[in-house]
Chains A and B, each alone.
Chain A
Amino acid sequence: MIVRVTTTGNIRATRMQHGRAANEGRDNVKCNPKTAPAALIGALGLMVGAMSAGIAEDIKIGVVLGYTGPIESLTPDMAESAEHALQEASDSGILLGGAMLESVRGDSTCIDSAAATAAAERLITSDNVAAIMGADCSGVTTAIANNTAVPNGVVMVSPSATSPALSTIEDNGYFFRTAPSDARQGEVLASILVDRGIMDVAVTYTNNDYGKGLADSFESAFTGMGGAVSAVAPHEDGKADYSAEVAALSASGSGHLAVFGYVDQGGKGIIQTSVDTGAFENFILADGMIGQTLIDSVGSDLDGHAIGTLPGSDSQGAADFVALARENGLTGDCPFCGESYDAAALIVLAMQAAGSADRAAIQGKIMDVANGPGEPIGPGELAKGLQILADGGEVDYVGATNVELTEVGETYGSYKELEIQNGEFVTIQIR
């Protein structure tokens, strides 16, 4: 939801600290992807030797999320969900013949690319993590992938970075995500509108990577399906007054306004002003706009007049994950928690499938365990999956969010089609 905030904030305080840590760790061995295949065989041999000798050391997994910054309220739950998957694998006693996993947290800050890169660099070179679960926001995720994870040949599995740009980065196959690209959400929104016979809309988006990317993908999908976008206007978050934006949009003459913004920011202001001035009565909301605060502040005028999409599904996996989380004292139905659990689970299963905690070996197996053929593995069934892999079988990880990766390593994603009815968001169907 709010995870794609790429606002230009100014949390710089942690940079010094991280920078120093990264420098200290810099003289550690780096694993260059080009020389990796040669080193791989040796490493494999070493690992097997170590395992058979029964002195398996803890394997470290990086959990890089924005523990400070604009989404700091979401990340603790996300981290705990991911760490629960690691714990489950360690407890099974089957992972690589009884290896234990250790989580090492790094702060992505969500918005400060330099601090995020330094934190990831420290995990990779100094803590020597086998893979990274993270990062969270699109901007810092791109920075970490480009600057340190990909050059060092470390797998990254992001639970929440949704920028379409991440589909096409030069990742040498090391970047994966259990969150769908926003390009997909644009298509889903467009098809919902076409199905409902809405063929003419005005669009406003929050002026950042998230809003622009979503607006672009929506516009191209919608016009491709025969719809017309009468006006596209960005809005800045954090302003007191959106009457000029709404006035300009209303001149388009469209009856529907698509708002790709944030529910606690400009998006709410746009909708409030539209309702107040009678400029628009019907709204189309993207995931950043889904929140009860919208209904609470705008009121009953939205009943039956707003439709939206939110990543998620009502699959068995999602329900199982919430139940699993509750049993273990976690929140469960928090934003991106299922995705976080799945991201960590993919790393664990790939490690088992590779028979090694080697970085490149993990990379080679992620796609195999995420997609079929094989035994479907749901949340809480990691031990079962690890056992099948140990016995030489194949698994198809389904997890909390129906994980199925595209050829560029991101989920297709399923979305809830929502509508506001009687003062709350109601799920109409899953797309």
Chain B
Amino acid sequence: MEDILNAVVLLSNFVVVPALAYGSQLALGALGVTLIYGILRFANFAHGDLMAFGTMFVVMATWWMQGAGLSIDPLPTALLALPFGIAAAVAVSLLTDRAVYRFYRRNKSPAMIFVIVSIGVMFLMNGVVRMVIGPDDRSFGDGARFLIKVKEFREATGLSEGLALKLSQGLTIAVTVAVVVALFRFLQKSRTGKAMRAYSDNEDLALLSGVSPDRVVLFAWAIAGTLATIAGTLYGLDKSFKPFTYFQLLLPIFAAAIVGGIGHPVGAVVGGYIVAFSEVTVTYAYRKFLIYVAPESWRPEGLVQLLSTEYKFAVSFVILVVVLLVRPTGIFRGKVI
């Protein structure tokens, strides 16, 4: 019995908890991508760097608050600084829409043009972030570090395996649940949310019914900027803030959005967790787990690892390719890219 419990705790510590936190971060990112795809009908490659941009402002505001002695200990100061980052990300989203995307929207440019344009915007934002805050690791986390500590868990339960739950992981999961619930309520119940869904389903019909396209686009960008900043800040708190890793996040985020069905908000959330759990479970080594649960004679010699950890990124790539080949609409029948 104790072996089974140890095995469960082991998997929770190294697979379930990290994958839940990572999946939540991906889900928030994928929601933003999917929303822009649903409303504006293009794959926004600049989303990863929008995350970095928003987070950069959160980091700077956090530093300023730490300097000024503001704190909400044991919670990280970054939560207090979040509104500044969100405001900056929304402002820059609206500004790029006004300066760049609106021109192509009025010209009714094909989706491919939009994608290429978004890559241009991505490079621009990339450069701005590097110029302002630099390419290096920036740490901005403070407050308590752990909700559950390994040693305390071991002492409390008497098990040989321990479970760690970082505050940033708990926070990520809680904030994601709150944000997703709020977003879904907004999309289902509010007038603007309904208008956005109508616009996404059928642009012409929505326009005929009096939906204001400018308003829908404005809200889409505002929500995308907000989600990007929240996702980026949670990722930075949990892991670390480095502009390049945010650019790299683009791949799993797109994989998540497409697996779930792009343009479909529920799909983005489910896709986020699918990608995160695949990455972690495929690269985890199950040797210790099997030692706990399998009979003595089955004890594995090797590490029992399907894929070496260097190939973690390849997992989201494979998921992306397989989904596009087998079921291009994704699990929840989103739009076809």
Q: Identify the closest chain B residue to A248 (Cβ).
A: B285
Partner-binding segment picked from B33-41, B85-93, B209-217, B234-242 = B234-242
Closest chain A residue, CB of each to CB of B308: A233
Q: Knowing that A247-B280, A248-B285 are A-B contacts, what are 13 other residue pairs whose CB atoms are under 8 Å apart, sorted by A's residue number?
A: A231-B285, A240-B235, A240-B239, A240-B241, A244-B18, A244-B309, A246-B14, A247-B18, A248-B284, A251-B287, A251-B288, A269-B240, A276-B145
Taken together as a complex, chains A and B put the C-alpha atoms of A277 and B13 apart, in Å, by 7
Chain A, Cβ-Cβ closest to B15: A247
How far, in whole Å, are A269 and B305 apart by their CA atoms in the complex?
Answer: 22
Verify if A238 is at the interface (C-beta below 8 Å from B): yes
Does A241 reach chain B (CB closer than 8 Å)? yes
Whether A196 is near chain B, meaning CB under 8 Å from some CB there, is no
**How far does the Cβ of A228 sit from chain B's closest Cβ, in whole Å?**
12
Q: Is the CB of A248 within 8 A of B164?
A: no
Is B288 in contact with A244, judged by CB distance below 8 angstroms? no
Whether B22 is near chain A, meaning CB under 8 Å from some CB there, is yes
Per the 8 Å Cβ criterion, residues 288-307 of B in contact with A are 288-289, 291, 303-305
CB of A142 within 8 A of chain B? no
For the complex, what is the distance from the CA of A248 to the CA of B245, rounded to whole Å? 21
* Cβ-defined partner of A251 (8 Å) among B162, B238, B280, B289: B289
B2 located at the interface, meaning its Cβ lies under 8 Å from any Cβ of chain A in the complex: no
The residue on A at minimum CB distance from B279 is A244
Residues on A with C-beta less than 8 A from B309 are 233, 235, 244-245, 248
Q: List 20 A-B contacts (CB under 8 A).
A: A236-B310, A238-B245, A239-B245, A240-B239, A240-B240, A241-B238, A243-B14, A244-B309, A244-B312, A246-B14, A247-B283, A248-B284, A248-B309, A249-B285, A251-B304, A252-B285, A252-B303, A269-B240, A277-B13, A278-B150
Are B305 and A238 neighbours in the complex by a CB distance under 8 Å? no
Q: Are B286 and A276 in contact (CB under 8 A)?
A: no
Which of chain A's residues 278-297 have a Cβ closer than 8 Å to chain B? 278-279
Q: Is B244 located at the chain interface by the 8 A CB criterion?
A: yes
Closest Cβ of chain A: how far from B282's Cβ, in Å? 9
Mark out the residues of chain A between 38 and 79 whose CB falls within 8 Å of any chain B CB in the assembled complex. none
Quick one: which of A131-158 are within 8 Å of B by CB?
Answer: none
Interface membership of A250, Cβ < 8 A: yes
Q: What A residues does B303 contact at CB under 8 A?
A: 231, 248, 251-252
Interface membership of B166, Cβ < 8 A: yes
B288: A residues at CB distance < 8 A: 250-251, 253
Chain B residues in 8 Å Cβ range of A278: 13, 150-151, 154, 162, 164
Could you tell me if A277 and B287 are in contact, using CB atoms closer than 8 angstroms? no
Q: Which residue of A lies closest to B135 (CB)?
A: A238
Looking at the assembled complex, report how far the CB atom of B237 sits from the nearest CB atom of chain A, in whole angstroms.
11
Could you tell me the distance between the alpha carbons of A276 and B21 in the complex, rounded to whole angstroms? 15
Instruction: Say how far A87's CB is from chain B's closest CB, in angstroms.
Output: 36
Q: Which residue of A lies closest to B282 (CB)?
A: A244
CB distance from B312 to the nearest CB of A (A): 6
A251 touches B305 (CB 8 A): yes
Q: Is A234 an interface residue, CB under 8 A from the partner?
A: yes
Beta-carbon contact of A243 and B242 below 8 Å: no
> Across the A-B interface, how many residue pairs have beta carbons closer than 8 Å?
84
A246 to B239, CA, bound (A): 14
Any chain B CB within 8 A of the CB of A427? no
Chain B residues, CB < 8 A from A231: 285, 303
| Complex: chain B residue closest to A276, CB-CB | B164
CB-based contact B284/A207 at 8 Å? no
A253:B283 contact, CB within 8 angstroms? no
- Decide yes or no: A240 and B284 within 8 Å by CB, A231-B303, A278-B162 being known contacts: no
- Taking a contact as CB atoms under 8 Å apart, the answer to whether A240 and B14 are in contact is no
Question: Which residues of A sit under 8 angstroms from B239, Cβ to Cβ?
Answer: 240-241
Closest Cβ–Cβ distance, residue A106 to chain B (whole Å): 27
On whether the beta carbons of B245 and A277 are closer than 8 Å, the reply is no
B245 and A240 contact, CB distance less than 8 A: yes
A277 touches B286 (CB 8 A): no
Residue of A234, A236, A248, A277 touching B305 (CB-CB under 8 A): A248
Q: Once the chains are docked, how many angstroms separate the CA of A251 from the CA of B18? A: 16
Find residues 28-86 in chain B having any chain A CB closer than 8 Å to their own CB. Answer: none
A207 close to B245 (CB less than 8 A): no
A residues in contact with B244, CB < 8 Å: 238
Instruction: Give the docked Cα–Cα distance between A179 and B239 (Å).
Output: 36
Complex Cα distance A236/B242, Å?
14
Structural contact, B284 and A244, CB atoms closer than 8 A: yes
For chain B, residues 242 to 289, give those with C-beta under 8 angstroms from any C-beta of chain A. 242, 244-245, 279-280, 283-289
| Given A243-B14, A245-B309: A238 and B285 interface contact (C-beta under 8 Å) | no
Which of B22, B164, B279, B304 is most buried by chain A, counting CB atoms within 10 A of its CB? B164
Establish whether residues B283 and A252, one from each chain, have CB atoms under 8 Å apart when the complex forms: no
> Do residues B283 and A244 form an inter-chain contact, with CB atoms below 8 A?
yes
The docked-state distance in angstroms from the alpha carbon of A250 to that of B305 is: 12
Closest residue of chain A to B287, judged by CB?
A251
Closest to B164 in A: A277
For the complex, what is the distance from the CA of A207 to the CA of B311, rounded to whole Å? 13
Evaluate contact between A234 and B310: CB separation under 8 angstroms.
yes
CB distance from A69 to the nearest CB of B (A): 15
Q: Are B14 and A247 neighbours in the complex by a CB distance under 8 Å? A: yes
Cβ of A207: which chain B residues have Cβ within 8 Å of it?
A: 310
Contact at A247–B284, with CB atoms within 8 Å? Answer: yes
B310 in contact with A279 (CB, 8 Å): no
Residues in A whose Cβ lies below 8 Å from that of B145: 276
Contacting B at CB under 8 A, from A212-251, are 231, 233-236, 238-241, 243-251
**Which chain B residues (140-178) contact chain A, with CB distance < 8 Å?**
145-146, 150-151, 154, 162, 164, 166
CA distance A248 to B314 in the complex (A): 17
B162 cross-chain contacts in A, Cβ below 8 A: 278
A253 touching B291, Cβ below 8 Å: yes
Which B residues lie within 8 Å of A276 (CB)?
A: 145-146, 150, 164, 166
Interface centre among B14, B22, B284 (most CB of A within 10 A): B14
Residues 390-407 of chain A, each 1 if its beta carbon lies under 8 Å from chain B, else 0:
000000000000000000
Chain A positions 316-349 with a Cβ under 8 Å from a chain B Cβ:
none
Chain A residue with minimal CB distance to B18?
A: A243
Q: Which residues of A contact B285 (CB under 8 A)?
A: 231, 247-249, 251-252
Bound: A251/B239 CA distance, A: 22
A277 touches B283 (CB 8 A): no
Q: Bound complex: CA of A255 vs CA of B220, how far in Å?
A: 51
Q: Which single residue of chain B is at the shortest CB-CB distance from A247?
A: B14
Bound complex: CA A391 to CA B173 (Å): 79
CA distance A231 to B151 in the complex (A): 24
Complex interface: chain B residues within 8 A of A241 (CB):
22, 238-240
- For the complex, give the distance between the alpha carbons of A245 and B14 in Å: 10
| Contact A279 B14, CB 8 Å, known A240-B242, A244-B283, A247-B284 | yes
